[in-house]
Amino acid sequence: VASTAHDFDFFYFVQQWPGSYCDTRQSCCYPSTGKPASDFGIHGLWPNYNDGSYPANCDPDRPYDASEMSDLMGGMQANWPTLACPSGDGSSFWSHEWRKHGTCSESLLDQRSYFQAALDLKKQVDLLKVLQDAGIRPDGGFYSLRGIAGAVREAIGYTPGIQCNVDESGNRQLHQIYLCVDAWGKELIECPVFPRSKCSSRVEFPPF
Ligand code: 5GP
Ligand code: 5GP
Ligand code: 5GP
């Protein structure tokens, strides 16, 4: 019997800094709906196992259905903007995330609840404010990785995972911040396992 309900242990709630997505040798493209705010954007809400592995593409029979999302569109465009090229309205990013990750938590969250949970989490944690309040600003300067992680831990009570990518000059820059969330997509938890960081001890925080 084919199984469609897949168990998992927790979610990674992953946000991306648009300045770092765009500041690489690959180009980025603003969404067709306009340049996103200078703020962290959602990348995804990813079911994960405590050992660091994760399920993916759990239910090919349940494709992304935009009609379940019509009243969430404003929030999706503002908080989960796509920066990949070519420019799009976001639906291919969201549909990719649903297919690859969302279908693996379907037993707990239907499509609408899945995206709503991510939007609610974004509202719970204002990462840019947390960093700025600690003097860490997207001004092209370099900041210590420990300082960044410490500011988030101080403000929200949990240690984040931090991932970097590399700008055109070869500098490591703050690209994604991971927080861990219980399997209902509601409460932040201490991360059982952290993603590979690819950062250096000081990292650039480019403007957007
Ligand atoms: P996805 O298909 O991850 O699996 O990736 C599709 C495209 O996104 C890839 O062609 C890759 O070049 C691009 N991509 C991945 N990471 C970044 C990034 O940090 N910045 C930019 N501009 N593109 C990226
Ligand atoms: P990358 O190889 O660029 O770090 O990640 C590519 C994609 O693989 C991510 O966008 C995400 O879809 C998936 N992925 C990478 N690492 C993890 C992880 O630790 N947990 C989960 N659930 N997905 C991941
Ligand atoms: P993941 O890395 O989550 O498996 O895949 C991300 C996919 O969504 C890639 O194929 C990438 O091309 C696409 N995508 C569209 N917009 C974005 C964006 O703004 N950021 C990232 N990381 N991927 C995006």
Tell me: the pLDDT tens digits for 11-67? Answer: 999 999 999 999 998 989 999 999 999 999 999 999 999 999 999 999 999 999 999
**Residue 195: CB within 6 Å of ligand 2?**
yes
**Residue 102: CB within 6 Å of ligand 3?**
no
Is 106 noted as a catalytic residue in this protein?
no
What pTM did the predictor assign?
Answer: 0.93
**Residue 17: CB within 6 Å of ligand 3?**
no
Predicted complex ipTM: 0.87
Atom 11 (ligand 3) nearest CA:
84
Q: Is the confidence at residue 1, as pLDDT, over 50?
A: no
Would you say the C-alpha torsion 74, 11, 136, 145 has a positive or negative sign? negative
> Structural domains in the chain?
10-125+159-199 (3.90.730.10)
